[in-house]
Amino acid sequence: MSDSKQLRAEIIEKVKEYYQVQFGQKEFISGTSPVNYAGRVFDEQEIVNAVDASLDFWLTESRFSADFSEKIADFLGIKHVMLTNSGSSANLLAFTALTSEKLGEKRLKAGDEVIAVAAGFPATVTPIIQYGLIPVYVDVDIPTYNINVAQLEKAISPKTRCIFLAHTLGNPYNLDAIMEVAQKHDLWVIEDNCDAFGSKYKGKYTGTFGHISTISFYPAHHITTGEGGAICTNDPKLAKLVRAFRDWGRDCYCVGGENNTCGKRFTQQFGNLPLGYDHKYVYSEVGYNLKMTDIQAAIGSAQMDKLPAFCAKRKENFKTWTKIFSKYPQYFTLPEATEGSDPAWFAFIVTVKKDAPFTRDELTRHLAKNKVETRNLFAGNMTKQPAFMNKAHRVADNLDTTDFIMNHTFFLGTYPGLQDGMFVYVEQVLDQFVGSYTK
Ligand SMILES: Cc1ncc(COP(=O)(O)O)c(C=O)c1O
Protein backbone atom coordinates (compact mmCIF):
# COMPACT_ATOMS: atom_id res chain seq x y z
CA MET A 1 0.00 0.00 0.00
CA SER A 2 1.43 3.39 -1.00
CA ASP A 3 1.85 6.05 1.63
CA SER A 4 -0.02 9.33 1.25
CA LYS A 5 2.98 11.14 -0.32
CA GLN A 6 3.25 8.50 -3.02
CA LEU A 7 -0.50 8.61 -3.68
CA ARG A 8 -0.42 12.40 -3.91
CA ALA A 9 2.38 12.23 -6.50
CA GLU A 10 0.41 9.70 -8.55
CA ILE A 11 -2.75 11.82 -8.40
CA ILE A 12 -0.80 14.91 -9.52
CA GLU A 13 0.67 12.98 -12.48
CA LYS A 14 -2.84 11.87 -13.48
CA VAL A 15 -4.06 15.48 -13.22
CA LYS A 16 -1.38 16.57 -15.70
CA GLU A 17 -2.47 13.83 -18.07
CA TYR A 18 -6.11 14.86 -17.60
CA TYR A 19 -5.28 18.48 -18.43
CA GLN A 20 -3.75 17.49 -21.78
CA VAL A 21 -6.74 15.35 -22.76
CA GLN A 22 -9.45 17.69 -21.52
CA PHE A 23 -8.01 21.17 -22.12
CA GLY A 24 -5.16 20.84 -24.65
CA GLN A 25 -5.11 23.59 -27.33
CA LYS A 26 -8.41 23.74 -29.22
CA GLU A 27 -8.38 24.76 -32.87
CA PHE A 28 -10.26 27.97 -33.78
CA ILE A 29 -12.79 27.44 -36.57
CA SER A 30 -13.94 30.69 -38.22
CA GLY A 31 -17.65 31.27 -37.85
CA THR A 32 -18.11 28.22 -35.64
CA SER A 33 -15.90 28.84 -32.62
CA PRO A 34 -16.90 31.81 -30.48
CA VAL A 35 -14.60 34.82 -30.12
CA ASN A 36 -15.16 35.54 -26.46
CA TYR A 37 -14.36 38.89 -24.86
CA ALA A 38 -12.71 37.16 -21.89
CA GLY A 39 -12.06 33.80 -20.35
CA ARG A 40 -9.82 31.90 -17.99
CA VAL A 41 -6.39 31.07 -19.40
CA PHE A 42 -4.55 28.32 -17.56
CA ASP A 43 -2.44 25.21 -17.94
CA GLU A 44 -1.94 22.08 -15.89
CA GLN A 45 -0.35 24.00 -12.99
CA GLU A 46 -3.60 25.68 -11.92
CA ILE A 47 -5.39 22.32 -11.75
CA VAL A 48 -2.40 20.65 -10.06
CA ASN A 49 -2.42 23.41 -7.41
CA ALA A 50 -6.19 23.16 -6.92
CA VAL A 51 -5.95 19.40 -6.43
CA ASP A 52 -2.88 19.75 -4.20
CA ALA A 53 -4.81 22.19 -1.96
CA SER A 54 -7.83 19.89 -2.02
CA LEU A 55 -5.66 16.99 -0.86
CA ASP A 56 -4.37 19.15 2.03
CA PHE A 57 -8.09 19.56 2.78
CA TRP A 58 -7.34 22.45 5.10
CA LEU A 59 -9.85 24.44 3.00
CA THR A 60 -9.60 27.86 4.67
CA GLU A 61 -6.58 30.22 4.37
CA SER A 62 -3.31 28.30 4.65
CA ARG A 63 -0.03 27.76 2.78
CA PHE A 64 -1.39 28.68 -0.68
CA SER A 65 -3.06 31.85 0.65
CA ALA A 66 0.26 32.94 2.17
CA ASP A 67 2.03 32.17 -1.11
CA PHE A 68 -0.56 33.94 -3.29
CA SER A 69 -0.72 37.10 -1.21
CA GLU A 70 3.08 37.26 -1.02
CA LYS A 71 3.35 37.02 -4.81
CA ILE A 72 0.85 39.87 -5.22
CA ALA A 73 2.72 41.98 -2.65
CA ASP A 74 6.05 41.32 -4.41
CA PHE A 75 4.61 42.07 -7.84
CA LEU A 76 3.08 45.39 -6.85
CA GLY A 77 5.74 46.27 -4.30
CA ILE A 78 3.10 46.76 -1.61
CA LYS A 79 3.25 45.77 2.05
CA HIS A 80 -0.15 44.30 2.90
CA VAL A 81 -2.39 42.10 0.74
CA MET A 82 -5.61 40.64 2.14
CA LEU A 83 -7.42 38.02 0.10
CA THR A 84 -11.19 38.02 -0.20
CA ASN A 85 -13.98 36.18 -2.02
CA SER A 86 -14.58 38.72 -4.82
CA GLY A 87 -13.57 42.10 -6.22
CA SER A 88 -16.91 43.47 -5.01
CA SER A 89 -16.08 42.27 -1.49
CA ALA A 90 -12.65 43.90 -1.85
CA ASN A 91 -14.33 47.22 -2.69
CA LEU A 92 -16.79 46.80 0.18
CA LEU A 93 -13.96 46.04 2.63
CA ALA A 94 -11.68 48.86 1.42
CA PHE A 95 -14.54 51.32 1.85
CA THR A 96 -15.79 49.84 5.12
CA ALA A 97 -12.31 50.08 6.65
CA LEU A 98 -12.50 53.86 6.15
CA THR A 99 -15.75 54.02 8.16
CA SER A 100 -14.10 52.62 11.31
CA GLU A 101 -14.39 54.70 14.47
CA LYS A 102 -10.74 53.84 15.04
CA LEU A 103 -9.92 56.48 12.38
CA GLY A 104 -11.45 59.22 14.55
CA GLU A 105 -12.35 62.41 12.71
CA LYS A 106 -10.91 61.03 9.46
CA ARG A 107 -13.50 58.28 9.24
CA LEU A 108 -16.16 58.29 6.54
CA LYS A 109 -19.67 58.99 7.86
CA ALA A 110 -23.20 58.89 6.45
CA GLY A 111 -23.88 62.12 4.55
CA ASP A 112 -20.24 62.63 3.49
CA GLU A 113 -19.58 62.93 -0.24
CA VAL A 114 -17.43 60.64 -2.37
CA ILE A 115 -16.13 61.46 -5.85
CA ALA A 116 -17.25 58.77 -8.33
CA VAL A 117 -18.02 58.26 -12.00
CA ALA A 118 -21.32 57.06 -13.47
CA ALA A 119 -19.66 55.28 -16.42
CA GLY A 120 -18.51 52.14 -14.69
CA PHE A 121 -19.25 48.99 -12.74
CA PRO A 122 -21.73 49.15 -9.84
CA ALA A 123 -19.34 47.60 -7.29
CA THR A 124 -17.32 50.85 -7.25
CA VAL A 125 -20.40 52.84 -6.18
CA THR A 126 -22.44 50.33 -4.16
CA PRO A 127 -20.47 50.58 -0.87
CA ILE A 128 -20.82 54.38 -0.91
CA ILE A 129 -24.60 54.03 -0.98
CA GLN A 130 -24.70 51.07 1.41
CA TYR A 131 -22.99 53.19 4.09
CA GLY A 132 -25.26 56.21 3.52
CA LEU A 133 -22.69 58.44 1.80
CA ILE A 134 -23.39 60.46 -1.33
CA PRO A 135 -21.71 59.61 -4.65
CA VAL A 136 -20.85 62.78 -6.56
CA TYR A 137 -20.68 61.78 -10.21
CA VAL A 138 -18.11 63.45 -12.43
CA ASP A 139 -18.23 63.04 -16.21
CA VAL A 140 -15.58 61.02 -18.03
CA ASP A 141 -13.74 61.74 -21.24
CA ILE A 142 -13.27 59.97 -24.55
CA PRO A 143 -10.84 58.42 -25.54
CA THR A 144 -9.50 57.52 -22.05
CA TYR A 145 -12.96 56.70 -20.58
CA ASN A 146 -11.68 57.96 -17.23
CA ILE A 147 -12.75 60.85 -15.00
CA ASN A 148 -12.59 64.27 -16.63
CA VAL A 149 -10.10 65.91 -14.28
CA ALA A 150 -11.02 69.38 -15.54
CA GLN A 151 -14.39 68.91 -13.74
CA LEU A 152 -12.84 67.56 -10.56
CA GLU A 153 -12.48 70.81 -8.60
CA LYS A 154 -16.13 71.67 -9.34
CA ALA A 155 -17.16 68.39 -7.73
CA ILE A 156 -15.47 69.13 -4.41
CA SER A 157 -17.61 70.51 -1.55
CA PRO A 158 -16.95 70.94 2.18
CA LYS A 159 -18.52 67.47 2.58
CA THR A 160 -16.12 65.67 0.19
CA ARG A 161 -14.05 63.06 2.04
CA CYS A 162 -13.00 60.43 -0.47
CA ILE A 163 -12.25 59.65 -4.13
CA PHE A 164 -13.28 56.13 -5.19
CA LEU A 165 -12.60 55.39 -8.86
CA ALA A 166 -11.76 52.43 -11.10
CA HIS A 167 -9.02 52.55 -13.74
CA THR A 168 -11.43 52.10 -16.64
CA LEU A 169 -10.82 48.85 -18.52
CA GLY A 170 -7.18 48.88 -17.43
CA ASN A 171 -6.46 52.46 -18.52
CA PRO A 172 -5.04 54.35 -15.51
CA TYR A 173 -6.69 57.66 -14.70
CA ASN A 174 -4.62 60.78 -14.31
CA LEU A 175 -3.13 59.84 -10.95
CA ASP A 176 -1.05 63.03 -10.71
CA ALA A 177 -4.22 65.12 -10.84
CA ILE A 178 -6.19 62.82 -8.53
CA MET A 179 -3.47 62.61 -5.87
CA GLU A 180 -2.91 66.37 -6.01
CA VAL A 181 -6.60 67.13 -5.40
CA ALA A 182 -6.71 64.45 -2.68
CA GLN A 183 -3.75 65.99 -0.92
CA LYS A 184 -5.06 69.53 -1.24
CA HIS A 185 -8.45 68.61 0.26
CA ASP A 186 -7.24 65.86 2.61
CA LEU A 187 -9.30 63.12 0.93
CA TRP A 188 -9.01 59.34 1.08
CA VAL A 189 -8.21 57.68 -2.27
CA ILE A 190 -9.48 54.17 -3.03
CA GLU A 191 -8.17 52.77 -6.31
CA ASP A 192 -10.47 50.15 -7.78
CA ASN A 193 -7.73 48.26 -9.61
CA CYS A 194 -10.02 45.34 -10.52
CA ASP A 195 -9.65 45.87 -14.27
CA ALA A 196 -6.04 47.11 -14.22
CA PHE A 197 -3.86 44.57 -12.41
CA GLY A 198 -0.45 45.09 -14.09
CA SER A 199 -1.10 48.58 -15.53
CA LYS A 200 1.44 51.30 -14.82
CA TYR A 201 1.31 55.05 -14.43
CA LYS A 202 4.61 56.91 -14.78
CA GLY A 203 6.53 53.66 -14.20
CA LYS A 204 4.64 52.60 -11.05
CA TYR A 205 1.88 50.00 -10.79
CA THR A 206 -1.68 51.22 -10.37
CA GLY A 207 -3.04 50.08 -7.03
CA THR A 208 -0.04 51.57 -5.24
CA PHE A 209 -0.93 55.28 -5.40
CA GLY A 210 -4.03 55.57 -3.22
CA HIS A 211 -4.43 54.76 0.48
CA ILE A 212 -5.95 51.42 -0.43
CA SER A 213 -6.71 49.47 -3.62
CA THR A 214 -8.60 46.41 -4.79
CA ILE A 215 -8.23 43.58 -7.33
CA SER A 216 -10.77 41.13 -8.80
CA PHE A 217 -10.00 37.55 -9.78
CA TYR A 218 -13.28 36.87 -11.57
CA PRO A 219 -12.47 34.99 -14.82
CA ALA A 220 -12.75 38.10 -17.02
CA HIS A 221 -9.86 39.75 -15.16
CA HIS A 222 -6.09 39.66 -15.60
CA ILE A 223 -5.74 36.54 -13.48
CA THR A 224 -8.46 34.34 -12.03
CA THR A 225 -9.34 32.25 -9.01
CA GLY A 226 -12.93 31.76 -10.23
CA GLU A 227 -14.44 34.10 -7.68
CA GLY A 228 -11.94 36.12 -5.67
CA GLY A 229 -10.36 39.44 -4.88
CA ALA A 230 -7.71 41.24 -2.86
CA ILE A 231 -7.24 44.47 -0.93
CA CYS A 232 -3.81 46.12 -0.99
CA THR A 233 -2.33 48.86 1.20
CA ASN A 234 0.94 50.11 2.64
CA ASP A 235 -0.85 51.34 5.76
CA PRO A 236 -0.69 48.77 8.63
CA LYS A 237 -3.66 50.39 10.39
CA LEU A 238 -5.87 50.03 7.30
CA ALA A 239 -4.62 46.46 6.76
CA LYS A 240 -5.64 45.56 10.32
CA LEU A 241 -9.07 47.15 9.82
CA VAL A 242 -9.63 45.29 6.54
CA ARG A 243 -8.75 41.98 8.25
CA ALA A 244 -11.12 42.74 11.12
CA PHE A 245 -14.03 43.63 8.83
CA ARG A 246 -13.28 40.63 6.59
CA ASP A 247 -13.13 38.21 9.54
CA TRP A 248 -16.47 38.75 11.36
CA GLY A 249 -15.35 42.09 12.88
CA ARG A 250 -13.11 40.29 15.34
CA ASP A 251 -10.37 42.07 17.26
CA CYS A 252 -8.12 38.98 17.30
CA TYR A 253 -5.74 38.63 14.38
CA CYS A 254 -4.56 35.02 14.78
CA VAL A 255 -4.50 33.19 11.45
CA GLY A 256 -6.86 30.22 11.12
CA GLY A 257 -5.97 27.31 13.40
CA GLU A 258 -3.66 29.40 15.64
CA ASN A 259 -4.30 30.68 19.15
CA ASN A 260 -2.85 33.42 21.34
CA THR A 261 -0.52 35.05 18.75
CA CYS A 262 -0.63 38.26 20.81
CA GLY A 263 0.17 36.41 24.05
CA LYS A 264 -2.67 38.29 25.79
CA ARG A 265 -5.61 36.07 24.90
CA PHE A 266 -7.09 35.89 28.42
CA THR A 267 -5.80 39.06 30.10
CA GLN A 268 -7.40 42.08 28.44
CA GLN A 269 -10.40 44.31 29.06
CA PHE A 270 -12.76 44.99 26.14
CA GLY A 271 -16.00 46.98 26.16
CA ASN A 272 -18.26 45.90 28.98
CA LEU A 273 -17.08 42.28 28.79
CA PRO A 274 -15.61 40.62 31.90
CA LEU A 275 -11.85 41.10 32.36
CA GLY A 276 -9.89 38.45 30.44
CA TYR A 277 -12.78 37.48 28.14
CA ASP A 278 -11.34 35.24 25.37
CA HIS A 279 -9.86 37.65 22.78
CA LYS A 280 -10.84 35.19 20.03
CA TYR A 281 -14.46 36.22 20.55
CA VAL A 282 -14.05 39.95 20.97
CA TYR A 283 -15.63 42.05 18.19
CA SER A 284 -14.30 45.57 17.76
CA GLU A 285 -15.98 46.17 14.38
CA VAL A 286 -19.37 45.27 12.88
CA GLY A 287 -17.96 42.96 10.23
CA TYR A 288 -18.57 40.25 7.67
CA ASN A 289 -17.01 36.96 6.67
CA LEU A 290 -15.62 37.53 3.17
CA LYS A 291 -12.55 35.29 3.19
CA MET A 292 -11.05 33.29 0.33
CA THR A 293 -10.49 29.52 0.47
CA ASP A 294 -7.04 27.96 0.13
CA ILE A 295 -8.15 26.12 -3.04
CA GLN A 296 -8.91 29.46 -4.74
CA ALA A 297 -5.57 30.84 -3.52
CA ALA A 298 -3.77 27.78 -4.93
CA ILE A 299 -5.17 28.56 -8.38
CA GLY A 300 -4.25 32.23 -7.93
CA SER A 301 -0.69 31.36 -7.00
CA ALA A 302 -0.22 29.50 -10.30
CA GLN A 303 -1.89 32.38 -12.19
CA MET A 304 0.47 34.94 -10.63
CA ASP A 305 3.44 33.26 -12.35
CA LYS A 306 1.73 33.99 -15.67
CA LEU A 307 0.68 37.60 -14.96
CA PRO A 308 3.62 39.34 -16.71
CA ALA A 309 3.11 37.24 -19.88
CA PHE A 310 -0.68 37.81 -19.70
CA CYS A 311 -0.18 41.58 -19.49
CA ALA A 312 2.25 41.53 -22.44
CA LYS A 313 -0.28 39.58 -24.53
CA ARG A 314 -3.09 41.98 -23.59
CA LYS A 315 -0.95 44.90 -24.81
CA GLU A 316 -0.16 43.06 -28.05
CA ASN A 317 -3.85 42.21 -28.64
CA PHE A 318 -4.75 45.85 -28.05
CA LYS A 319 -2.30 46.85 -30.80
CA THR A 320 -3.79 44.31 -33.20
CA TRP A 321 -7.34 45.65 -32.64
CA THR A 322 -6.01 49.19 -33.12
CA LYS A 323 -4.60 48.21 -36.51
CA ILE A 324 -7.90 46.64 -37.57
CA PHE A 325 -10.20 49.46 -36.42
CA SER A 326 -7.95 52.29 -37.57
CA LYS A 327 -8.93 51.39 -41.15
CA TYR A 328 -12.15 53.29 -40.45
CA PRO A 329 -11.22 56.56 -38.69
CA GLN A 330 -14.38 58.18 -40.07
CA TYR A 331 -16.59 55.77 -38.10
CA PHE A 332 -14.71 54.84 -34.93
CA THR A 333 -13.04 56.69 -32.08
CA LEU A 334 -10.28 54.45 -30.79
CA PRO A 335 -9.12 54.24 -27.17
CA GLU A 336 -5.99 56.04 -25.98
CA ALA A 337 -3.82 55.39 -22.96
CA THR A 338 -3.79 58.21 -20.41
CA GLU A 339 -0.67 60.34 -20.84
CA GLY A 340 2.26 58.79 -18.97
CA SER A 341 0.57 55.40 -18.56
CA ASP A 342 1.25 51.89 -19.79
CA PRO A 343 -2.06 50.01 -19.52
CA ALA A 344 -2.40 46.23 -19.31
CA TRP A 345 -5.67 46.64 -21.20
CA PHE A 346 -8.71 44.78 -19.87
CA ALA A 347 -10.45 45.40 -23.21
CA PHE A 348 -10.43 47.31 -26.49
CA ILE A 349 -13.05 50.03 -26.20
CA VAL A 350 -14.53 51.60 -29.32
CA THR A 351 -16.99 54.46 -29.79
CA VAL A 352 -19.09 54.59 -32.95
CA LYS A 353 -19.03 58.20 -34.15
CA LYS A 354 -22.27 60.18 -34.11
CA ASP A 355 -22.47 60.57 -37.89
CA ALA A 356 -21.51 56.98 -38.77
CA PRO A 357 -24.05 55.33 -41.10
CA PHE A 358 -24.66 52.57 -38.53
CA THR A 359 -25.29 52.49 -34.79
CA ARG A 360 -23.34 50.76 -32.02
CA ASP A 361 -26.24 48.37 -31.50
CA GLU A 362 -26.40 47.44 -35.20
CA LEU A 363 -22.69 46.64 -35.14
CA THR A 364 -22.68 44.70 -31.86
CA ARG A 365 -25.75 42.69 -32.98
CA HIS A 366 -23.97 41.86 -36.24
CA LEU A 367 -20.88 40.78 -34.30
CA ALA A 368 -23.00 38.68 -31.91
CA LYS A 369 -24.75 36.99 -34.87
CA ASN A 370 -21.27 36.02 -36.08
CA LYS A 371 -20.23 34.68 -32.66
CA VAL A 372 -18.07 37.67 -31.72
CA GLU A 373 -18.72 38.70 -28.14
CA THR A 374 -18.84 42.37 -27.14
CA ARG A 375 -19.84 44.28 -24.01
CA ASN A 376 -21.01 47.79 -23.25
CA LEU A 377 -19.10 49.88 -20.73
CA PHE A 378 -20.78 48.09 -17.83
CA ALA A 379 -23.68 50.05 -16.31
CA GLY A 380 -23.59 52.86 -18.93
CA ASN A 381 -24.77 55.66 -16.66
CA MET A 382 -25.25 54.65 -13.02
CA THR A 383 -27.77 57.47 -12.45
CA LYS A 384 -30.10 55.78 -14.96
CA GLN A 385 -29.93 52.30 -13.44
CA PRO A 386 -33.17 51.23 -11.74
CA ALA A 387 -31.51 50.48 -8.39
CA PHE A 388 -29.47 53.68 -8.31
CA MET A 389 -31.55 56.41 -9.99
CA ASN A 390 -33.53 57.27 -6.84
CA LYS A 391 -30.66 56.95 -4.39
CA ALA A 392 -29.19 60.20 -3.04
CA HIS A 393 -26.44 61.45 -5.35
CA ARG A 394 -25.09 64.62 -6.87
CA VAL A 395 -23.91 65.29 -10.42
CA ALA A 396 -20.86 67.55 -10.36
CA ASP A 397 -21.58 69.28 -13.67
CA ASN A 398 -23.12 67.19 -16.44
CA LEU A 399 -22.88 63.59 -17.64
CA ASP A 400 -23.02 64.34 -21.37
CA THR A 401 -20.03 62.17 -22.31
CA THR A 402 -21.22 59.38 -20.00
CA ASP A 403 -24.55 59.39 -21.86
CA PHE A 404 -22.78 59.38 -25.20
CA ILE A 405 -20.76 56.33 -24.10
CA MET A 406 -23.93 54.62 -22.86
CA ASN A 407 -25.36 54.90 -26.38
CA HIS A 408 -22.36 54.65 -28.71
CA THR A 409 -19.58 52.63 -27.05
CA PHE A 410 -18.73 48.93 -26.78
CA PHE A 411 -15.67 46.79 -26.13
CA LEU A 412 -13.98 43.68 -27.44
CA GLY A 413 -11.69 41.47 -25.43
CA THR A 414 -7.93 41.68 -25.17
CA TYR A 415 -7.59 38.55 -23.02
CA PRO A 416 -4.56 36.31 -23.63
CA GLY A 417 -6.74 33.48 -24.98
CA LEU A 418 -7.32 35.36 -28.28
CA GLN A 419 -5.64 33.60 -31.21
CA ASP A 420 -4.32 35.02 -34.51
CA GLY A 421 -7.14 33.37 -36.49
CA MET A 422 -9.72 35.16 -34.37
CA PHE A 423 -8.38 38.59 -35.34
CA VAL A 424 -8.36 37.64 -39.04
CA TYR A 425 -11.96 36.42 -38.72
CA VAL A 426 -13.26 39.47 -36.81
CA GLU A 427 -11.59 41.78 -39.34
CA GLN A 428 -13.49 40.01 -42.13
CA VAL A 429 -16.79 40.29 -40.22
CA LEU A 430 -16.14 43.98 -39.57
CA ASP A 431 -15.15 44.71 -43.19
CA GLN A 432 -18.28 42.99 -44.44
CA PHE A 433 -20.46 44.98 -42.03
CA VAL A 434 -18.90 48.36 -42.80
CA GLY A 435 -18.91 47.52 -46.54
CA SER A 436 -22.67 46.87 -46.49
CA TYR A 437 -23.24 50.48 -45.32
CA THR A 438 -20.80 52.20 -47.64
CA LYS A 439 -21.53 50.67 -51.05
C1 LIG B 1 -14.09 47.93 -12.06
C2 LIG B 1 -14.67 46.75 -11.34
N3 LIG B 1 -14.71 46.77 -10.00
C4 LIG B 1 -15.19 45.72 -9.31
C5 LIG B 1 -15.68 44.60 -9.94
C6 LIG B 1 -16.24 43.48 -9.13
O7 LIG B 1 -15.43 42.34 -9.13
P8 LIG B 1 -16.06 40.89 -8.84
O9 LIG B 1 -16.80 40.48 -10.08
O10 LIG B 1 -14.89 40.02 -8.55
O11 LIG B 1 -16.98 41.03 -7.67
C12 LIG B 1 -15.67 44.55 -11.33
C13 LIG B 1 -16.26 43.41 -12.03
O14 LIG B 1 -15.85 42.51 -12.54
C15 LIG B 1 -15.13 45.64 -12.05
O16 LIG B 1 -15.08 45.63 -13.39
Going by alpha carbons, the residue nearest to atom 7 of ligand 1 is: 87
Residue from 218, 288, 411 to probe ligand 1 pocket by mutation (most atoms less than 8 Å from CB):
218
Instruction: Indicate if ligand 1 lies below 6 Å from the C-beta of 121.
Output: yes
Residue by residue, DSSP assigns 53-102 as: HHHHT--SS-HHHHHHHHHHHHHHT-SEEEEES-HHHHHHHHHHHTT-GG
Residue 25 clears pLDDT 80, i.e. is over it: no
Residue from 40, 216, 223, 382 to probe ligand 1 pocket by mutation (most atoms less than 8 Å from CB):
216
Residue 39 burial (CB < 10 Å; 0-12/13-18/19+)? middle
What pLDDT band is residue 260 in, cutting at 50, 70 and 90? Answer: confident
Instruction: Indicate if ligand 1 lies below 6 Å from the C-beta of 216.
Output: yes
Entry pTM: 0.97
pLDDT in tens, 370-410: 999 999 999 999 999 999 999 999 999 999 999 999 999 99
Q: Percent of the chain, pLDDT > 70?
A: 99
Distance between CA atoms of residues 291 and 418, nearest Å? 32
Instruction: Indicate if ligand 1 lies below 6 Å from the C-beta of 191.
Output: no
Distance between CA atoms of residues 147 and 404, nearest Å? 14
Q: Which domains does the chain have, with CATH numbers?
A: 1-249+285-439 (3.40.640.10), 255-283 (no CATH)
Active site residue 221: yes
pLDDT computed for residue 308 by the predictor: 98
pLDDT in tens, 74-121: 999 999 999 999 999 999 999 999 999 999 999 999 999 999 999 999
Instruction: List phi, psi (to 5°) of 100.
Output: -65, 140
pLDDT in tens, 137-176: 999 999 999 999 999 999 999 999 999 999 999 999 999 9
pLDDT computed for residue 1 by the predictor: 53
Atom of ligand 1 nearest to the CA of 378: 16
Mean pLDDT in the chain? 97
Residue 225 clears pLDDT 70, i.e. is over it: yes
